[in-house]
A and B are shown apart, each in its own frame.
Chain A
Amino acid sequence: MNTTIKPKHQRLVLLVVAVIAMIGATLLAIVALRDQASYFYLPSEIGAAETGRDIRLGGMVEHGSIVTQEDGITIHFIVGDGEARQPVSFTGIAPALFVEGSGVVAEGSMAADGTFMASNLLAKHDENYMPRELAELDTDEVRAQIEATLQ
């Protein structure tokens, strides 16, 4: 009886083992990077951040929270993630997509009074694409609308 393995199958087994080892190593690295590779902190994660250190804060701009200050160029608003709410102050020109109910990434640092002092704002677009006729809807309603038309 012939018990030798075909070279073709030997190579296949060897390669499968190598690929599994590689994926395993990468998964370990990714799990270890989980916190470090994020681009920003959520409001619920930022509480422990030391004051004065440069960090990024990301989340949704709460409805009705944008208040323009007396100097005309400073705005105060609240960033939320469904768990925590973080007051933010920003002086300068906000990007066009910076609107209430939309995502934002603010670069800056925590002040002693618990306000996040932003030096730069980046608008974070969500995954929904929809024409202007439905502009007044919020994210969940947009999603429901698209799914209804695609059915």
Chain B
Amino acid sequence: MHGFANPARFLRLAKWLTPVLLVTGLVMAIAALVYSYTSMPPDRLMGDSVKILPLHVAVSWLGMGGWTMIAIASLVELVWRHPLAAIAARAAAVPGAVFAFCCLATGSIWGRPTWGTWWVWDGRLTSMLVLLFLYLGYIALTSALAREGGSSRIAAIFGLVGAINIPIINRSVVWWNSLHQPPSLTMGNSAIDPVYLYPLAVSTLGFSLLFGAIVLMRMRAILADMQAEARLRRKAQAAAGSMAEGTA
């Protein structure tokens, strides 16, 4: 575990892993979306609007996956004091928020022609909107802590407490009557025909790799920022030290 705690080793790994994830993810996601918009047959009831399925499922999965990553990284930070965990959690927040927003946007666009409404306050839609607000709060908190130099442990506790919303989103369509349909994919079962299921799987995997690449890029950027700040601080201290010597 602590083998990866070494930032130098992490940076060496991230350097070649980032472009690999980025290129594979982009190729898979674009291929799946182009295929779904050009070649996927219309659904028996909703017709052509089913073409948004591979995109909507992929971005929703990552909207929830982003916070799951924040929660796991927060746990690792709080218990094992892993130096990279706080950085990983911070790095996942913005892409997670973007994906959660895309989930709400694509869902809304899809809801208008199928349900007959842009938005309803049912369990699934409301809990997903709460997730977006949690992301925004988390981003505000972590950026304030980074600027003011507070303990990142506060953010880690926020990350863990907020994780309670993830199973609620997942189970909302089972626990409560909702306009959103119940899950199509359950343990080993699919209610989605293979002509939609395979593009969906490729799209979800592609966007997940893309998410991984973005998180690695952001982690590298945060580490570089921290190094630059540390260097400036050392310089300022050295300058202050020589000035003190000069006056003595």
**Hey, which bits of chain A sit against chain B, CB under 8 A?**
8, 11-12, 15, 18-19, 22-23, 26, 30, 33-34, 37-42, 58, 95-99, 102-103, 105, 121-132, 134-135, 137, 142-143, 146-147, 149-150
Contact = CB atoms under 8 A, between A and B. Distances in A.
B79 A39 contact: no
Nearest to A145: B193
Interface of B: 41-46, 50, 53, 75, 78-81, 113-117, 120-123, 160-161, 164, 168, 175-179, 181-184, 189-197
Contacts of B80: 8
A96 B113 contact: yes
B191 A143 contact: yes
Contacts, number: 126
B108 to A, nearest CB: 14
- What is the predominant secondary structure among interface residues of chain A facing chain B? mixed
Given A129-B196, A130-B43, A130-B193, A39 B122 contact: yes
Contacts of B75: 15
B67 to A, nearest CB: 15
Contacts of A150: 190, 194, 197
A95 to B, nearest CB: 3
B191 A22 contact: no
Contact of A34 (B41, B45, B175): B175
